[in-house]
Amino acid sequence: MEKLGSELIVDEIFTRLHAKAIGRFKCLSNFFRDELSNNNFEIMHSRRIISSLQKKLLSLKDNTIVVDNIVGGNLQADTSKTIISPSNVHPSYLRVLASFKGLLLICNERMFCELILWNPTTRRFKILADDYFDRNFERNAATGGMYFDNSNDLKVLHINRYRNVLNARVYSRHRESWRKINSLNVTNYASTYYSWSPGIYSGRSIYFMVSNYWFPPGERHMVVFDVVSETFSTIPFPEVLDLNPWQGHFLSIEMKLHVIVVGRSENLYADLFKFEDEAWVKVFSFNTPHVVDYLERRRRNNIIQDNKWLIISIWGDIFEVDLSNESFEYLQHVDDYTGPKGALFIETTMSPIV
């Protein structure tokens, strides 16, 4: 009976606590240390925390890594703090590939895109090292995503392009090993003319934006990885004007996949669409989008700030839009938004190590 009461406390109280408080409570006893460190608790805790309006924004600056509080979708400027990168890698070599359940998948491009699985809250990390791609490396040619399989084993999807050949593999945290998967049906997007976005998880799938600025100009695709069947497919873009070029930017709001479409007809415009029932539904249009110049972009973060939203493309273009009352109310519930040099994450105790 005493054990049952302790388990109830763990399930109903501890899963609602902040990650740092959980770390302190692990010192209470061997029982709490074991219960608060197991995989089931970490998953339950992350599910409760993700519904909170409070998130964290990690930004990879030129020489530092900065973490800010995001409350109700708005950046709290007075909460900024600097943290140390995993394995003391210089921030200029790092690129974010995915964010999931409090973990970040980071690429160290100084070391042939060495992959690092990192929890910025607990500072724990694991280098997913082998020589699988060491001789097959192109800068800015890797992307990936994370998910749980049916047995709650954390999996890491890694996509890499080398000399117009696309490779995909999956890492198992439980087995601590890689295996190659079939990606032949998306090899049309393996050319160096294509750029792949970071992956975003939604509804048992990981989504990628694949864009080509060069030939044919303005070509864009959405590639979907089904985490159950481990197969790739494509979905259509939202129906927009035939503009060239235009860009899309994935984000997740209340666990639903969304995309911001930025394009130009007579003027620059930006619309938000939601993916629902296998179709794109327009939510609203943003006010007065404009291109952010080089000096301004170095002073800003890729999230809501002063009722403005920064949108960073996979090609490095940065746009800013003004938020109305409607759009701010909607976007304050954003739970995942990832760019190459920054990402939203939640504070969890999720461990990159078994």
The answer to whether residue 302 scores a pLDDT higher than 70 is: no
Q: Tell me whether residue 22 is in a domain.
A: no
Q: Tell me whether residue 350 is in a domain.
A: no
The answer to whether residue 8 scores a pLDDT higher than 80 is: no
> What does pTM read for this prediction?
0.89
C-alpha 156: how far from chain center: 12
* Conformational region of residue 152, where left means phi above 0, alpha means psi within -120 to 50, and beta covers everything else: left
Q: Tell me whether residue 20 is in a domain.
A: no
CA gap 61, 80 in Å, rounded: 13
Q: Tell me whether residue 12 is in a domain.
A: no
What's the pLDDT score for residue 2?
Answer: 47
Burial of 125 (0-12, 13-18, 19+ CB in 10 A): buried
The answer to whether residue 1 scores a pLDDT higher than 50 is: no
- Give me the domain span that covers residue 96: 38-345
The string of pLDDT tens digits covering residues 98-127 is: 999 999 999 988 866 789 999 999 999 999
The string of pLDDT tens digits covering residues 258-268 is: 999 887 767 78
Total domains, the chain: 1
The string of pLDDT tens digits covering residues 129-139 is: 665 555 555 66
The string of pLDDT tens digits covering residues 214-239 is: 666 567 789 999 999 999 998 988 87
Is residue 155 a contact partner of residue 145, using CB atoms and an 8 Å limit?
no
The DSSP letter of residue 89 is: -
* CA-to-CA dists, residue 9 to 3, 30, 44, 279, angstroms: 10, 15, 13, 42
CATH value at residue 229: 2.120.10
Of 52-66, 95-109, 279-293, 331-345, highest mean pLDDT:
95-109
The answer to whether residue 39 scores a pLDDT higher than 90 is: no
